[in-house]
Amino acid sequence: MLLARKPQKKRPQYYDSQLQPSSQLQAFGTVPVSGHTVALVFRLSRPRTWTFPAASFLLGYVLTAGWNITQLGIGLIIASFVTAATNIVNAYADRKEDVVNQPRRVFWLDQMGQKATIGSIIVFYGFSAALSIYLGLAYMIVLAVGIFNSAFYSLPPLRFKAHPLSSLISFSGAVGLAFLAGTSVTGHVNVWNPVLWLVTYFMFTYGTVKNLPDYSGDKKAGTKTTATVFGNIRRAVKFTTIILISPYVFLVGLTITGFLPAIYYAELILTPLLIFILHNMWTARSSEGFEKMHTYGFFYAISFLLFTLVVSSPSLKSLGVVISAFLWTLLVSRIHIDSRIESRDWEHDSNSQRSGA
């Protein structure tokens, strides 16, 4: 009697860089292939980063307007879609740097094609603008500023990220403008809210973290960042350390001077997480190590924003938001659909090819 063969699982396809005409990617080993445009758009939109503006919008809205589920839902969708467009624009504009920093992202963009890439950006921005009508004129004005900042963070002729200071200011706008958008739903834009100052400055300082893993690629591309302005990565780490500590000094200052109530001292409970991030930063010995630190830093930054929400509006609803945000972030991180790759295995492939040459 013949034994039936056990059906074999279909293996995923891989992109063999040696068979491709593009010489840019030949040194980076194999890259998973996905021909589905929607899946590629979702990956390039970096859904885990949607949590930043969504949490900040929620914080600004709750502090001024309460918990209107319909308005909150619309605002959260817009915050997520604008961030999605921002990430795709950034990926498209940073192809030169990403040949070294994130070569798989370059490949995925090639798979999508220019028309699909631009089309997805227009859809995200356009749908956000259409939905904003339901949140009033003040919100629409803030959103227009946000879209302008979102697009020209990466695109010429302004390309804010081309200069270290303007890069951090623009990057912090992802949180600051989202907070203002939350307050503007009531018809008024309150730029004097000290919680706005705190979370915006925190995001300003956090912007230095993301530049460390990309030090080599940005240096080769001639891109000025808060890291590459220093002669070596260790000096950049020292600078980033000082910057990351400063939000807590700012927090204490706001509380001592009475701008924030004493309950905000509770945010100091996050300092052990900061120490953990700094430890990983100082012990990292490769761009992959810095990328791992960046992942930890991402969850630390999300924790700061969400804990600020809990401190500002302690309730079961706030707790539910925190749990939902972490579940979403952990889910998209767990299934590896973010276009920013932590393992950086292409660097190992490239190094092994050099050593074998």
The rounded distance, in Å, linking the Cα atoms of 39 and 77 is 18
DSSP 4: P
Rounded to 5°, the CA angle 303-283-349 comes to 100
Residue type present at position 234: R
How confident is the model at residue 342, as a pLDDT?
53
How confident is the model at residue 15, as a pLDDT?
36
The 3-state DSSP class for residue 15 equals strand
pLDDT digits (tens, 9 = 90+) for 118-149: 999 999 999 999 999 999 999 999 999 999 99
For residues 124-138, b (16+ Cβ closer than 10 Å) or e, as one string?
Answer: bbeebbebbeebeeb
Mean pLDDT (whole number) for 196-214? 95
Mean pLDDT (whole number) for 248-263? 97
**Domains recognised in the chain with CATH numbers:** 36-340 (1.10.600)
Angle of helix 287-312 relative to helix 316-334, nearest 10 degrees?
160
> Could you give the C-alpha distances from 133 to 136, 138, 290, 338, in angstroms and in order?
6, 10, 42, 30
Token digits of residue 188: 């008024």
How confident is the model at residue 305, as a pLDDT?
96
Token digits of residue 67: 């918990």
Radius of gyration in angstroms for the set of CA atoms belonging to the chain, rounded to a whole number: 21
Given CA atoms 22, 218, 349, 32 in this order, what sign does their dihedral have? negative
Name the average pLDDT for the chain: 85
> pTM of the full predicted structure?
0.84
pLDDT digits (tens, 9 = 90+) for 287-316: 889 989 998 999 999 999 999 999 999 999
How confident is the model at residue 339, as a pLDDT?
60
Torsion from C-alpha of 222, 223, 224, 226, nearest 10 degrees: -120
pLDDT digits (tens, 9 = 90+) for 25-39: 333 333 343 447 888
Token digits of residue 47: 């859904």
9 or 98: which leads in pLDDT: 98
